[in-house]
Amino acid sequence: MKNISAPNPPTLETVSAAPKIVKRPAAARGLTELGWLHSRHSFSFGEYQDPAHLGFRSLIVLNDDVVEAGGGFGTHPHRDAEIFSYVITGELEHRDSLGNGRVIKAGDLQYMSAGSGVRHSEFNPSKTAPAHFLQVWLRPRARGGEPRYAERALGGAARPNALTLLFAGEARDGATAIRADAEIYFGRLEAEKNLALAPGAGRGVWVQVIKGALDVLDETLAEGDGAAVENVASLALAARADAEFLVFVLA
């Protein structure tokens, strides 16, 4: 009988994982309704627990919150989390144990590194209009450290048809340094425009659409949709309609 030898096993150099995208549709997210708060959870949070959605890499909380006029989160503690709020419409008033007290306007971002421990509150200061914002938590590189606070005023100043780097693991290109191995971009694209992102070897990308619609790989993401993307050297983002979105590049 003729000897038939098995083919050589593939090596790391010859194996290339295919690009992968997992869409998190807006309507499929977890829901919290408290009267004054209407919250959608991309990942497990509070009483909403789903083993299939515990986070993506170091991104552990992504809540889409609407707080009714005069409502808000009373003073409560945090530690060992990088916390971001992006105000979509309305205003959000922040106070914390570091002595910060600010009203964050629509289109602007707030960052707080909880470190070894901080207490804060968030309220909608309006008597008539709801506040709509995204609340994001990242897992830090290491536990502890002095709490920190910063703001990024975007408003209408973000560059059109581009990604604006807001936060990164080290201060560069105008970005605020954070305690996580991550990059956070704000994107603005006009309809039928596109751009490309090179996330870097071994990194994953989360795209969260705020307004409009984007084509990402073989998925279309509309308002409130998110998606986890893996195994891409370059990621193309194409707008079906005028779009605003956040992009997280994560180790």
pLDDT digits (tens, 9 = 90+) for 215-228: 999 999 999 999 99
- Average pLDDT value over all residues in the chain: 93
Instruction: Please give the radius of gyration of the chain, using alpha carbons only, rounded to the nearest integer.
Output: 20
What percent of the chain is modeled with pLDDT above 70?
A: 92
Q: What is the pLDDT of residue 16?
A: 67
Mean pLDDT of 89-116: 96
Q: How confident is the model at residue 156 (pLDDT cuts 50, 70, 90)?
A: low
- Domains belonging to the chain, first-starting first, are 20-250 (2.60.120.10)
H-type alpha helices, the chain: none
pLDDT at 163 over 50: yes
Mean pLDDT of 82-95: 97
pLDDT at 153 over 90: no
Mean pLDDT of 55-68: 98
pLDDT at 7 over 50: no
Strand, coil or helix: what is 102?
strand
DSSP 194-229: EEEE---TT-EEEEEEEEEEEEETTEEEETT-EEEE
Query: Residue 45 to residues 89, 105, 141, 176, 241: CA-CA distances in angstroms?
Result: 23, 25, 21, 27, 31
pLDDT at 11 over 50: no
**Taking the model in full, what pTM does it have?**
0.92
The total number of residues shown for the chain amounts to 251
Candidate from 13-17, 63-67, 97-101, 137-141 with smallest mean pLDDT: 13-17
Query: Residue 190 to residues 124, 129, 172, 179, 198: CA-CA distances in angstroms?
Result: 30, 28, 26, 32, 20
